[in-house]
Amino acid sequence: MAFEGLSEKLQDTFKKLKGNGVLTEEHIDQAMREVKLALLEADVNFKVVKTFVKDVKDKAMGEEVMKSLTPGQQVIKIVNNELVELMGGTGSKLTYSSGGFTTYMLVGLQGTGKTTTCAKLANTLKQSGKNPMLCACDIYRPAAIDQLEIVGKAVNTPVFTMRDSKDPVEIAKAALKEAEIKGYNVLIIDTAGRLQIDEALMDELVNIKKSIRPHEILLVVDALTGQDAVNVAEGFNEKLGIDGIIMTKMDGDSRGGAALSTKAVTGKPIKFMGTGEKYDALEPFHPERIASRILGMGDVLSLIEMAEESYSEEQASKLEAKIKKNQFTLEDFLEQMAQIKKMGGIGKMMGMLPGMNNASLKDVDIENSEKEFKQMESIIYSMTIEERQNPSILNASRRKRIAKGCGQPVSKINNLIKKYEDARKMMKQFNNPKALKRNKMFKGLI
């Protein structure tokens, strides 16, 4: 889970701070020492940490904060605002050419997931109505062209290649011409990487940049490399001039130092973050939402967006009609489980709920919950169509037959039926993702 270590330490620090009815300078100093240590342990750049802590302390010691009725909460608000500013203030979106045709050039070192990110970006752009084409300009890494063709096929996006050419500039120029002729409006260029920044790499990238004049140059960095990622970003920006950053493997980075340092060090925003291996696991980077997650305040907006993306209005209307007629079946229940899996599973969803800090999540066996999903699926698939559509007929003998068919004990079948009954009662409130905005559970949070 991204920022897990940092989030846990900061939340513990502020829990103690809120326990003091009246704050003193000593309380602030102690809290800031713990914040500083937490940030350093998260591998945040030392200079960034020093400036961050100073800014927070200066604002926290203000008379308006110290004399407020809730000084502890005021300090947390200051930290939240400073975290948001540290990561860029507001989300930075991709920009498009006013001429109607846009070229993105993806650069980075080897091993950062650049080629896969090309496909993820294409998939994201297609969802927003764009018509992209990929271009293979990595002529050095073995099978790099083959890999781009594979990932391109996976997201149903054409890939331009010139296997006989040894000139990346020639390939990029030809791809640009081909894309325009065939009616594509976005060209994504996958460039070569190296194990480290060197003169030959930069010369090649500069030449491609000069020849095709990309609308944006996006640097792909690996979040797991921490400050190395920040140093790489600084190096690429100085020599090439980048427009934004895509930070991969954020789902595996429990520290988060790279995400918190990059904007402050390079001045360039993080535009996307990779959150998994699937081609739809590329999320816009929203500093305000990330800060909220770090401080345990949840990310309800992202949760709602995920729900709306995975659940169509037609599905919601159909389900709502069934519920009103009391026709919510086990097949519908199975569909709801599939939607939860599509949204990233229970763990990801719970991590976005307010109050669900790391301590809370430790009490939830996420792994077993996911296994339980699969068990419930096997149970439902072992039922007849009549039993799925009318669970009230599931007497003892039928449950024994189902248990034998799916290899689960009868207690598991009983547990599934109970969960189904509970879900049926709750579905009236939660059958439409947009209803989350009106539900009193979330009132005042969004």
Q: What average pLDDT does the segment 235-255 reach?
A: 88
Residue 208 clears pLDDT 90, i.e. is over it: yes
Is the pLDDT higher at 78 or at 3? 78
**pLDDT tier for residue 91 given thresholds of 50, 70 and 90:** confident
**pLDDT tier for residue 422 given thresholds of 50, 70 and 90:** confident
pLDDT of residue 24: 80
101's tokens = 């045709």
Q: What average pLDDT does the segment 287-295 reach?
A: 84
Q: What average pLDDT does the segment 100-110 reach?
A: 93
In angstroms, the CA 266 to CA 243 distance is 10
* Pick from 118-122, 220-224, 342-346: least confident: 342-346
The number of beta carbons lying within 10 Å of the beta carbon of residue 152 is: 25
Backbone angles phi, psi at 88, to 5 degrees: 120, 0
**pLDDT tier for residue 303 given thresholds of 50, 70 and 90:** low
Q: Domain coordinates of the chain in residue numbers?
A: 4-86, 102-294, 300-437
Spacing of C-alpha 124 from chain mean position? 13
How does pLDDT run across 144-184, given as a tens digit for each residue?
A: 999 999 999 999 999 999 998 989 999 999 999 999 999 99
Q: What average pLDDT does the segment 49-56 reach?
A: 92
Q: What average pLDDT does the segment 358-384 reach?
A: 68
Nearest one of 356, 287, 360 to 90, comparing CA atoms: 287
**Going by C-beta distance under 8 Å and a sequence separation of 6 or more, which residues neighbour residue 208?**
105, 137, 168, 169, 172, 189, 191
pLDDT of residue 346: 54
**pLDDT tier for residue 445 given thresholds of 50, 70 and 90:** very low
Cβ proximity of 210 and 233 under 8 Å = no
Strands 216-222 and 244-248, by their bridges, are parallel
If you classify domain 102-294 with CATH, what class do you get? alpha beta
Amino acid (1-letter code) at residue 95: T
Strands annotated E in 93-158: 102-107, 132-136
Residue 260 clears pLDDT 60, i.e. is over it: yes
Number of H helices, E strands in the chain: 21, 8
Residue 365 clears pLDDT 50, i.e. is over it: no
pLDDT of residue 52: 93
* Pick from 4-13, 217-226, 257-266, 324-333: least confident: 324-333
In angstroms, the CA 436 to CA 446 distance is 10
CATH superfamily of 300-437: Signal recognition particle, SRP54 subunit, M-domain (1.10.260.30)
287's tokens = 């500093």
Residue 446 clears pLDDT 50, i.e. is over it: no
Q: Which CATH number applies to 4-86?
A: 1.20.120.140
Beta partners for residue 286, in sequence order: none
Is the pLDDT higher at 144 or at 194? 144
The number of beta carbons lying within 10 Å of the beta carbon of residue 98 is: 7
Average pLDDT of the chain, as a whole number: 81
In angstroms, the CA 409 to CA 329 distance is 22
Is the pLDDT higher at 19 or at 367? 19
The number of beta carbons lying within 10 Å of the beta carbon of residue 367 is: 11
**pLDDT tier for residue 3 given thresholds of 50, 70 and 90:** confident
**pLDDT tier for residue 443 given thresholds of 50, 70 and 90:** very low
Spacing of C-alpha 265 from chain mean position? 22
Sheet containing 244-248, strands listed edge to edge, beginning at the edge strand earlier in sequence: 159-160, 132-136, 186-190, 102-107, 216-222, 244-248, 270-274, 282-284
With H, G, I as helix, E, B as strand and everything else as coil, classify residue 174.
Answer: helix
* Pick from 115-124, 157-166, 232-241, 348-357: least confident: 348-357
How does pLDDT run across 220-243, given as a tens digit for each residue?
A: 999 888 888 889 999 999 989 999
